[in-house]
């Protein structure tokens, strides 16, 4: 379904709200909460922005200071590393991790041995036993993964992102807000959006929010894939939204994005820069990727053709909109 933003910058699929999938493991949030320096990132209400967007409430999930780093990404990395380390005996030191169908893993294992370190090599099903034995003979720990490597470490990273959405579940009632009507997610390869889909589409049918992906217009691989109905790559250019500059969606994320996203929109650098300035005016020091969430909400909910787009997302004047502001202003300082 497309509306008057043009099929190259807008996509909607209302049926996505009825799709369901399994949730992330519940212990992810507890793991993050056990880390030194953990605190839920703020969920900040911006009433003036709600008026502009013609909705009831706008809340910004501000990831500018997450476990001491200026972006949400450490949620995924910390959980994935925890999972990897849990495969080793306690007290192990440096670990080189590789995913391989043979040669690369053996090379990593050899180098690890030469440098006196350990290696952990993920081997997908179907690799010849002799190749597996050769890697093990280099002293590496070999771990079989069902299916492809794509289903191991990246899925832990995605699972790690679930904490961000679990926090929102706790924060909204504390702000006397109901469940979100719309959650807006900046998208690069789509792993964070996959986590959003897994979170909201694993709730009882009908309770899910509309989920909107936002990409730079110069790297809108998810929008192009959704529009075509198949995973495609697009050429990328230069954008201030550096973390979103990805032309090929994650193949692991793709089934979730295809089935579970209600909408996708492309925004320009100028849109992001304007949103960044606006957020700064409200005291939120967002980076360009984080500000893309506000730019995307504005592109979807206002302007020519907004009525049809709002209809597709089921957004009325009382809607609660959550913007995932994925990075702070100092996440990607100029070189
Ligand atoms: C700040 C920021 N926001 C959003 C994203 C998009 O995440 P994903 O690649 O999982 O779609 C990234 C990815 O690098 C990022 O760095």
Q: Tens digit of pLDDT for each residue in 232-274?
A: 999 999 999 999 999 999 999 999 999 999 999 999 999 999 9
Q: Specify the pLDDT at position 126.
A: 75
Report the percent of the chain where pLDDT is more than 70: 90
| C-beta separation of 179 from 56 below 8 A | no
| The predicted structure's pLDDT at residue 147 | 62
Q: Which atom of ligand 1 is nearest to the CA of 327?
A: 1
Contacts of 235 (CB under 8 A, 6+ apart): 247
The whole-number average pLDDT for the span 47-58 is: 98
Tens-place pLDDT, residues 193-202: 999 999 999 9
**C-alpha to C-alpha distance for 145 and 206, rounded to whole angstroms:** 34
Task: Among 236, 239, 243, 294, name the best residue to mutate to test ligand 1's pocket (greatest count of ligand atoms within 8 A of Cβ).
Answer: 243
- Is any atom of ligand 1 closer than 6 Å to the C-beta of 243? yes
Supply 264's token pair.
């996708």
Distance from the alpha carbon of residue 61 to the mean position of ligand 1, in angstroms? 14
User: Span 120-148, mean pLDDT?
Assistant: 83
Burial class, 14, CB count within 10 angstroms (exposed 0-12 / middle 13-18 / buried 19+): middle
Confidence band of 3 (pLDDT split at 50, 70, 90): very low
Instruction: Give the pLDDT mean for 184-212.
Output: 90
What is the DSSP secondary-structure string of 57-125?
EEEEEE-SSBTTBSBTTHHHHHHHHHHHHTTS-TT---EEEEE-SSHHHHHHHHHHHHTT-EEEEEEET
* Substitution candidate for ligand 1 out of 62, 63, 70, 73 with most atoms within 8 A of CB: 73
Phi, psi of 267 (to 5 degrees): -125, 155
Atom of ligand 1 nearest to the CA of 193: 11
* CA–CA distance, 193 with 196 (Å, rounded to integer): 5
Q: What is the pLDDT of residue 35?
A: 93
pTM exceeds 0.85: yes
Task: Report pLDDT for 335.
Answer: 42
More confident residue, 3 or 188: 188
DSSP E strands in the chain: the ranges are 10-12, 43-45, 57-62, 95-99, 118-124, 141-145, 182-186, 210-216, 263-267, 320-325
Tally helices (H) and strands (E) across the chain. Answer: 13, 10
Atom of ligand 1 nearest to the CA of 186: 4
Atom 15 in ligand 1: which residue has the minimum CA distance?
A: 243
Pick the residue whose CA is nearest to atom 14 on ligand 1.
243
Contact 252, 194 (CB under 8 A): yes
Ligand 1: atom nearest CA of 190 is 11
Higher pLDDT: 165 or 95? It is: 165
Mutate to test the pocket of ligand 1, among 60, 63, 156, 192 (most ligand atoms within 8 A of CB): 192
User: Which residue do the tokens 């807006």 mark?
Assistant: 184
244 lines ligand 1 (CB under 6 A): yes
Cβ of 189 less than 6 Å from ligand 1: yes
Q: Is 326 in the pocket of ligand 1 (CB under 6 A)?
A: yes
Q: Which atom of ligand 1 is nearest to the CA of 331?
A: 1
Ligand 1: which of 157, 160, 184, 186 to mutate, most ligand atoms within 8 Å of CB?
186
Decide whether any atom of ligand 1 lies within 6 Å of the 214 Cβ.
no
Q: Is the CB of 240 under 6 A from ligand 1?
A: no
């Amino acid at each position: 379904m497309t509306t008057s933003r043009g099929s190259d910058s807008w996509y909607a699929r209302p049926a996505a709200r009825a799709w369901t999938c399994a949730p992330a493991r519940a212990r992810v949030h507890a793991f993050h909460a056990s880390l030194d320096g953990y605190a839920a990132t703020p969920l900040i209400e911006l009433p003036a922005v709600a008026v502009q967007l013609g909705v009831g409430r706008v809340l910004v999930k501000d990831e500018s200071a997450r476990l001491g780093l200026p972006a949400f990404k450490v949620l995924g990395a910390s959980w994935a590393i925890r999972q990897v380390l849990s495969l080793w005996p306690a007290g192990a030191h440096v670990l080189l991790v590789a995913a391989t169908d043979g040669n690369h893993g053996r090379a990593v294992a050899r180098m690890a041995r030469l440098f006196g370190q350990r290696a952990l090599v993920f081997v997908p099903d179907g690799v010849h036993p002799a190749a597996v034995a050769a890697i093990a003979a280099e002293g590496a720990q070999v771990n079989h993964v069902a299916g492809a490597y794509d289903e191991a470490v990246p899925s832990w990273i995605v699972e790690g992102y679930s904490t961000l959405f679990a926090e929102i579940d706790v924060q909204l009632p504390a702000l006397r807000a109901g469940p979100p009507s719309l959650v807006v997610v900046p998208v690069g390869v789509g792993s964070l959006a996959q986590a959003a889909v897994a979170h909201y589409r694993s709730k009882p049918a009908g309770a899910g929010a509309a989920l909107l992906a936002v990409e730079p217009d110069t790297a809108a691989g998810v929008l192009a894939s959704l529009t075509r109905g198949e995973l495609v790559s697009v050429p990328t250019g230069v954008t201030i939204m550096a973390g979103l500059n990805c032309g090929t969606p994650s193949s692991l994320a793709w089934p979730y994005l295809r089935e579970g996203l209600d909408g996708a929109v492309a925004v320009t650098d100028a849109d992001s820069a304007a949103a960044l300035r606006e957020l700064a005016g409200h005291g939120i020091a967002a980076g360009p990727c984080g500000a893309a969430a506000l730019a995307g909400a504005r592109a979807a909910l206002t302007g020519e053709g907004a009525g049809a787009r709002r209809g597709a997302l089921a957004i009325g004047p009382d809607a609660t909109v959550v913007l995932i502001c994925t990075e702070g202003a100092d996440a990607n300082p100029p070189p």
